Homo-oligomer: A and B are copies of this chain.
Amino acid sequence: MPYEFYEKDLIQFLINTSQSQIDELIEDIHPADILDAIHAYEGDKKLLLQKLPEWVIAAIIDYAEDEEKYEILSIFPEKRQKDIVEEMSSDELVDLLGSIPKEQADDIIVKLDLEEAEEVRELLTYKPDTAGGIMATEFICVQDTMSVGETLKYLQKEAPDAETAYYIYVLGEHDDLKGVVSLRDIVVSNFDVKIGDIMNENVISIPVDMDQEEVGHIFEKYSFLTMPVVNERDEMLGIVTVDDIMAVLSDEHTEDMYRLAGLQEGEKVTGSIGESVKSRLPWLFVNLITAILAAATVSLFEDTISKVVALATFMPIVAGMGGNAGTQTLTLIVRGIALGELTFENAKKVLFKEFGVGISNGFAIGLAVATLGYLWERKPIFGLVIGLAMFLNLIAATTAGFLVPVTLRRFKIDPALASAVFVTTVTDVLGFFFFLGLATLFISYLL
């Protein structure tokens, strides 16, 4: 089925099909597509939603953006809301509850049965951006003494409620994680084989307080579909699944890019002017302070500029090239930190490399700019001044591009967060200082 032509057909199907037929056919339609169809439908969306069975609505709420989750749920009467939330898995519930004010969240928790309410309350105690905050508690576990046949029978009963049934965890007496066995291993084994004989005892697990970005890197490293989450006593608490991890990694990517540019996390392409101003104006004011520092540097040399006004013409080149070279190194380092490629062990080597890159690129660009300056002003010393300033500024740029994010990280600040403004300040202030300072030094040759 070519997925592009799907939306319109689906709207027609939802409108024209009787309740009983929908119940029968809806199982084969992906909830993400139903949500798309509801978004695209220009009539009363409630009419479409009300025709859907509870488990589909629960799935749609899971696929919906944070801000519309509760909106969808709240169109249903109390009784049906209860049925819908009962269809949601623990991590889906936590996502929903995390997206709404506390009173509304409490209203929903009251609708759950006691055991589930208890579980959700406990999940809510974990920080949202840790393994505990994204895990689900619906996993399948067995004992190592069970046979494959017994396990299959157990699965027929339990699998429908589990978040994923592709890995089955083997727990000891105290819920301690002893091993894992894949559904595939079970399917290819004889019925009388014991789980203990086919399980992998070397389970790689995730501590419950691990940052979600780090969890993402572990998934990337091992290509797992699901990983178990444990506490400090190695008791299994839940599972994290790869689809949640893909969302986490995508969000972390967006965050890195946004922070480098001075946008706030929540900003959306489709947001309002007010939201965008709120997201960006603070950063522009921070940048204004650094721009004033650059301006103050220039103002020290107003006397020199008034004598050789061509210096003003070349100022944008010094600042612009320094900023670009700094941004190159900065981006490489921020991404290198995010991917775990920059470590304590190789940091020194990378710093030397960046210094070397600054010298090499500084030499090439310095030479080009010196030639340009000479041709423009017809004074060799003018070429020398701008070329040398460029050379020094490119070294400063690559060095700052390394040192700023690495230092921020050392102080446990996200290296993407404030790096750009620091690096640009360094390249602007130092660039103007080198350029106009050298010009002041050689002023008699420039007149």
Contacts and interface: CB of A to CB of B under 8 A. Distances in A.
B200 A223 contact: no
Given A284-B365, A316-B295, A30 B204 contact: yes
A181 to B, nearest CB: 11
A325 B282 CA distance: 11
Interface in A280-326: 280-281, 283-285, 287-288, 290-292, 294-296, 298-299, 302, 305-306, 309-317, 319-321, 323-325
A54 interface: no
A263 B305 contact: no
The 8 lowest CB-CB distance pairs between A and B, nearest first, are A269-B336, A223-B243, A261-B331, A28-B202, A294-B316, A273-B356, A291-B320, A312-B312
A328 interface: yes
A440 interface: no
Interface string A142-160: 0000000000100110011
A345 B297 CA distance: 47
Contacts of A249: 246, 249-250
Nearest to A165: B184
Interface stretch (A43-51, A83-91, A110-118, A251-259): A251-259
Interface of A: 1-3, 27-30, 32, 152, 155-156, 159-160, 165-166, 183-184, 186-188, 200-205, 207, 218-223, 225, 242-243, 245-247, 249-250, 253-254, 256-258, 260-263, 267-273, 276-277, 280-281, 283-285, 287-288, 290-292, 294-296, 298-299, 302, 305-306, 309-317, 319-321, 323-325, 327-328, 330-336, 339, 341-342, 346, 349-350, 353-354, 356-357, 360-361, 364-365, 368-369, 372, 424, 428, 432
Helix, strand, loop or mixed for chain A's interface?
Answer: helix
B319 A309 contact: no
Contact of A184 (B166, B258, B271, B349): B166
B295 A302 contact: no
A245 B305 CA distance: 56
A316 B299 contact: no
Given A3-B204, A225-B225, A257-B334, 19 more contacts: A3-B218, A28-B202, A242-B246, A245-B246, A249-B250, A254-B339, A258-B332, A261-B328, A263-B328, A268-B336, A269-B342, A273-B356, A288-B368, A288-B369, A295-B314, A295-B316, A295-B317, A305-B305, A309-B309
